[in-house]
Structure 1
Amino acid sequence: MKRWFIVGVPVILAAALGVLGVARETAVYLYSDQVLLQFDPSDEYSVTIVWFNVYETLLRYYPEEDRFEGVLAKSYEVSEDGLVWTFHCVRGLNSIPET
């Protein structure tokens, strides 16, 4: 019964929105390598939020401008085939020591 509810309700809602003629102007895609065990974002993404507050990324992506900006990487180079990325990191970075 739960499986039908989880799958059936979104399908019915999507079909109903199609009948109403709601225009989709923007598509938003989200990638996460975290395995979803529940559909409740307050439970599922709490670990991800902690990681974003503890660790910093090499680059930050700005989708409005379709560009990357260095955060821990002061500059970077991409090979012509796009398979090799070389990052030149900011000096003096420290890591959390392993226990």
Structure 2
Amino acid sequence: MNESSESVEDQVLTIIAILLATGVLGSFSLVGFFEPIQAWAIQQGLMVTSSVTVPLGGDGSVGLDMPRILIAGGMVWLALLGALYSAVRKHRRHQAA
């Protein structure tokens, strides 16, 4: 592999990590503000109305339970892991040059 293809791979990984992180955080904020989005999220099983641990709605009756919190945390963890991997590869490439 040449240097330019490694640079493109690093850029793609960074973009994916940014999109994952902002997508998760943005979707949580949208669900909290808009009633039709809340109804859709409940219908799809993304949010619950009983045994709410983290409320995302205005009245606190809609939110995430523990399994959904663990899934969301795993998604954020994977995004951070991808960003860390990209940063380490970039740092090693600059040290080798």
TM-score of the aligned structures, taking structure 1 as reference length: 0.22
Bigger Cα Rg: 1
Q: Relative to total residues, which structure has the larger helix share, 1 or 2?
A: 2
TM-score of the aligned structures, taking structure 2 as reference length: 0.22
